[in-house]
Structure 1
Amino acid sequence: MSPYDYPPSTFPWAARTVFGEFLGSVKCRRIDDSTQGPYRWICALDVQFPERDKTRASIQGTGLLISPRHILTSASNVVRKEPPFKESHPKTGFRVDAQRVTVTPALDGTPKLGKKRAPVGSIELQPAAWWVPNQFFSDLSFKWDVAVLTLPREIPSFHGMPYGHWGHIGFSPRTTIKAATNESLVGATLTTCGYTDGVCFDEAPLPTASNPFPQPTVLTRMAKRENSTQWETFGTVQPSQPGLVEWGQLLYDTAACYGMDGAPVWLNTGNLQLVAIHVGANFRNITNPKIPLQLGVALALRSEILDLLRQRILLAGIRPAF
């Protein structure tokens, strides 16, 4: 255990409350101290794309340290597929990489007295620093929406100790990285935590017999400083829906935000098991009255995805922790 980490409570209800299963009706909370594990391994990604027509050039995303020098995120945070003409499928056009990505671990937009906004600074990356699987471009689905960013150096030490990463056995709370599938997670409560990019979604009301398709929940617009702060939410994984299975979408009723794409999604079983990454906040269910109207979308970390992640880490001469 790191001396600057607080151990989770030995009482199960307290640990669940701290690490992802909240009590009461609140489903979204701001992280007060992003320098504690596991939150300090979550990184804000400020991404700059080339100016192009009306497409937004600057976005904020989220990533996660999975080795001393590797960040896992969503491929759509760092590359875009722009169609050569209007009617083209958005993933059959040409590749456009971000011009740069600025990585800031544990960014805190509302620092308390004595705490730093960027406790270990920031690192700016160019396109050569990230890798996206070829399948992301050849498979017209979400099944390969992952990317790995390789840092030129390790994150600086914090309070005189190694900074750590998700899956490192020397830190508390205990974190692991496990292969999962959509089917294996149905009914599970998953937690995600990341940065917002202006808009969050409240928990959508459940359908009723008299109102099978309730109106969309009003969007919550976040202040700029709140965008630079971690927000945590959770949701229950819904059964795979016909027509969506082939797209690889894992749906869960989370009160997520734009900007959380690439955020870790974990299962709390006493240790925090990373089983997916968040890839979308605004899936609108308009066909199935048995599940909520507003859903988050995640990508389960299947075994073949983990194999590719291990390869990227090994290329840097680092032994993967999973």
Structure 2
Amino acid sequence: TTRDPQTATTDVLTYGDLVVAGKLIGPRIYSTGPGIFSSENVSSLEHARKVMKRYSAYYDTKTIKMYGTGNRQQRQWIIQAAREQNIMPTTEGGLNFRNNLTQMIDGYPGQEHSLPVFPLYKDVVGLVAFTKSAYTPTLLVAYGGPWAENYFYALERPHDDPKLNRFMPHHNLDSRSRRRNAGWFMEEEHVFEEQSAVANAIVQEGGRVGIGSHGQLQGLGYHWELWSVQSGGMPELDALRAATILGAEAIGLDNDLGSIEVGKLADLVILNSNPLDDITNSKDIGYVMINGRLYEDDTLNQVYPLNKPLPKLWWQDFAPTGVPGIRK
């Protein structure tokens, strides 16, 4: 299952419809749709209700992202309208620490991005845990230091990853993995391990932490974020809970997703090696299942209940062939 918080366009809604209709092979796709920004100029609770109708009645997103809609009163109108229309809201965590905390106090169930200061102490950790606001630190693009993704781009060599090369246009992979302009950093300059200690403290206090890869690199990005969140001492089991049931709770879908239980949807990731021994085993995937249909992870050929090879990917017909150069 994926959830995309704040899309610049509504394209993702179409992708989700295509998956449901069987026109594309993909995960369960949820989205907030375009965020609710200060440009809405929310002037009253009634105005907020009209804005929310866009999501509850038209987009049918089930969730929204309140992306800095204005002052605290305006943010409170937005969350009240969301509650009335059964929409699960999340927020954009910014550099204004006070705003981040008041959003949690006012009842927003989620914050995307790291809190902008660290280390944090028991007063803030206790507040986040008590509110049950899902803290999704997105350490791949965290505040306060080099982005964690640069650490993994340097060490993991995603350019040579066979799955990315199979399922991603190569020019697209090149543009992300070659000659990155973010710079090179000494290992001790990275801050994600220190920031992940905050995430661990929140979980140990009984709070919720989510895994959010910020859309940085399809497939591998989610694993990198999971490893980053675990790196500050979080037990591997708690990190896996953040990636599964806590994430499902964060978007209001824990009755259907996030754990293996009777009555829940038959969506599974089947691993070849144990991530409780080493969290990086999370990417050693053998099979994936969605709604009872089982696929080989390396090929996405369906093997149950029917044997069906993966159709040619749309962009493969346009892939360049041969060696570039001058021809006579």
Same fold judged by TM-score > 0.5? Answer: no
Which structure dedicates a bigger proportion of its chain to strand? Answer: 1
TM-score in terms of structure 2 length: 0.23
Tell which has more relative contact order, 1 or 2 (C-alpha 8 A, sep 6+): 1
Q: Say which one has the larger Rg.
A: 2
TM-score in terms of structure 1 length: 0.24
